[in-house]
Structure 1
Amino acid sequence: MKETGYLPLVTDFAKTLPFYVATIGTSTEKTIWRPKGIGDHQLLFTVEGSGHGIVEGKECMFKKGDIFYLPPNHPHDYSPALPAWKTAWMTFSGTAVKDVVPNKGGVYRGGEKMKEWFDALCVLPKNETWQEISSVLLYRFLLRLRVSSFSEGGTSVNEAAKKLSGAVAFMEENSSRPLTLGEIAKAALVSEGQLCRLFRLAYSMRPMEFLHMLRIRRAKQMLSEKRHVPVGTVGKLSGFDSPAYFGYLFRKHEGMTPGEYRRLY
């Protein structure tokens, strides 16, 4: 693997972007010790060989295909376990990065496609448009990692969503009637605690918040398609027993009352 490196010019404009690349390259790793970390987010992808280091106070191995993520200013050290530990690496930042990366450092599996996505960034023309185009590609890159590789307790976003497919179908079919957390957990074949963890991982919300969104969506359809049905009845048919609570949640999600929504749509 030919070693490469690129240090783009990070302008004040670049720092206003949701995502921007600070450094990017490939290398044969040596022993690194950074007691205070670095100021940007960091990703290393093992292309060949293996390495080992300390992540969150635990000793870890970095095998081929593994993704090593570190947040900013995070103490770390790592070394090659074999003579040739070859990596593709990137440091990055941006105003929206924290919304798509894990809260803490870790080693994540399933990064086989990372090199392909990484190469798409590396081959961009190094001109005045690089920072803008790379921002778009970096967002796609991180979003793919979030969905397929970044995980909590060994479960990725994709895996969590698949495990919840039965629960989501059950909620969609029964959203117009009262539902308990136990009923939803039973549909997913998991405990109530596991259900909440999976919803947080897959959708960044609690199960009942997800149910509220389904009910609001149902109400929006009825408000625009069945204009003769009174607003209060729409709320009840959508699964809300209280007209006041229906109005409160609708305004919270849509920024307007059900009546205002009906007049607009």
Structure 2
Amino acid sequence: MNNYLFPVITYENTLPFYVKGVGGLENQEHIIRPNGYHDFQWLHCVKGKGKLIINNKEFFIPRNSGFFMYPGVPHQYFAVEEPWETHWVVFGGYGVVPLLNALGFSQYNVFRLNDIRPLDNLINDIYILSQSKNLLSGYRCSAKLYNLLIELKVQTQESLDTANVSRYNKLRPVLDYIDNNYMNNPTMDELASLINVSPQYFCRIFNNVLGIRPFTYLNLIKLRNAKELLIKHPEMQIKEVASKVGYNDVSYFCAVFKKHEGVTPMEFKINSAFHIT
């Protein structure tokens, strides 16, 4: 790719994500932006090597790496090994900041990627769609842009968070045990013993990996199975469903269910009745 385009924006700016520009250069020119760029941007390298300077910090950008940046962040970038081929997309939308916050992105990020091809394919798709006269192409570009940001998170999580993956794998026996024994209300001591750690350390790594406490996770597994019972067996009483998933107190079961689902078990059963054949 050695071209770029900036789509005419009509209805697209009402979407949560929309493309404002997309393209690539076979030999990226020197860019200096003392006031930053006016849109969100992602750029990655497919050949050669470049350098990004931001906040007086220098980052090399070789193949299988790239950078993401918020609007208004001063920066410059240039080739250090030519040809430095780059592909990029700039974008906006009211959904961008909430998604970036959820993904844990900062004002700027430099990423090393496992495989550039999925991201490159998405940018190529966006480029082709942006040339289309089809009325729906803006919606399709919006979907591709969302996929690109999610793929970026997946790739960086895989490459940068190997320690977390290792901890998750360590927890697998516990998660499998909870899946099979949730109705028996396993204790923290019981779960911790499965991986030969103390209950305190177990709770800490569980929360670090999954972002919730083991007790909360146990409740979520119970509720998942309770919802399946409510739909598959509408003849069952709420008290019976509660007992089958490990709640001896039906009032507590109903309170936990409503806290997480926003409706009572009975309301869930009634609302889901049309799914029953």
Q: 1:102 to 1:76 in 2, by over 3 A?
A: farther
Q: Which amino acid aligns with 1:110?
A: N
Structure 1 equivalent of residue 68 of structure 2 = 69
Q: Partner of 1:123 in structure 2?
A: 128
Map 1:92-171; keep pairs closer than 5 Å: 92-97=91-96, 98-99=98-99, 101-104=103-106, 105-108=108-111, 109-113=113-117, 114-124=119-129, 125-129=131-135, 130-147=137-154, 149-151=155-157, 154-155=160-161, 159=165, 163=169, 165-171=172-178
Report Cα offsets for 1:98-139 as digits up to 9, x if no partner: 325442132221242122222122222432533222112222
State the alpha-carbon separation in 1 of the partners of residues 35 and 193 from structure 2.
Answer: 46
Distance 2:265 2:126 in 1: 45
Aligned length: 257
Is 1:8 aligned to 2:7, yes or no? yes
| Alpha-carbon distance in structure 2 between the residues aligned to 1:120 and 1:178 | 49
Question: Which residue of 2 is the match for residue 253 of structure 1?
Answer: 260
SS of residue paired to 1:48: strand
Q: Deviation of residue 226 (structure 1)?
A: 3.8
- The secondary structure found in structure 1 opposite 2:223 is helix
Match of 1:211 among 195, 218, 230: 218
Amino acid in the other structure paired with 1:103: F
Match of 1:17 among 15, 18, 30: 15
Counterpart Cα distance in 1 of 2:92 and 2:2: 23
* 1:256 Cα deviation after fit: 1.8
Select the residue among 198, 202, 206 that pairs with 2:209: 198
1:150 counterpart letter in structure 2: T
The answer as to whether partners of 1:56 and 1:106 remain within 8 angstroms in 2 is no
Change (3 A) 1:230 1:106: same
Q: Which residue of 1 aligns with 2:90?
A: 91
| CA RMSD across the alignment | 3.2
Question: Which piece of structure 1 moves more, 223-232 or 168-177?
Answer: 223-232
Q: Is the 8 A contact 1:40 1:93 kept in 2?
A: yes
Structure 1 residue runs without a partner (length 5+): none
Fraction of identical pairs, as percent: 26
Deviation of the 1:7 alpha carbon:
0.4
How far apart, CA to CA, are the structure 2 residues paired with 1:73 and 1:208? 43
Quote the offset at 1:9 in angstroms. Answer: 1.6
Offset at residue 77 of structure 1 (A) = 3.1
Separation in structure 2 between the aligned mates of residue 20 and residue 119 of structure 1, nearest angstrom = 15
Give the letter for the 2:246 counterpart: G
Name structure 2 gaps, 5 residues minimum: none
Cα distance in 2 between the residues matched to 1:186 and 1:36: 55
- SS of alignment partner, residue 82 of structure 2: coil
In 2 relative to 1, CA 8–167 (structure 1 residues): closer, same or farther, beyond 3 Å?
A: farther
Rounded Cα–Cα distance in structure 1 between residues aligned with 2:35 and 2:195: 43
Aligned mates of 1:57, 1:230 — CA distance in 2: 65
**Secondary structure of 1:240 counterpart:** coil
Give the equivalent residue in structure 1 for 2:179: 172
When Rg is computed on C-alpha atoms for both structures, the one with the higher figure is 2
1:236 matched to 2:236? The reply is: no
Alpha-carbon contact 1:185-1:195 (below 8 Å) kept: no
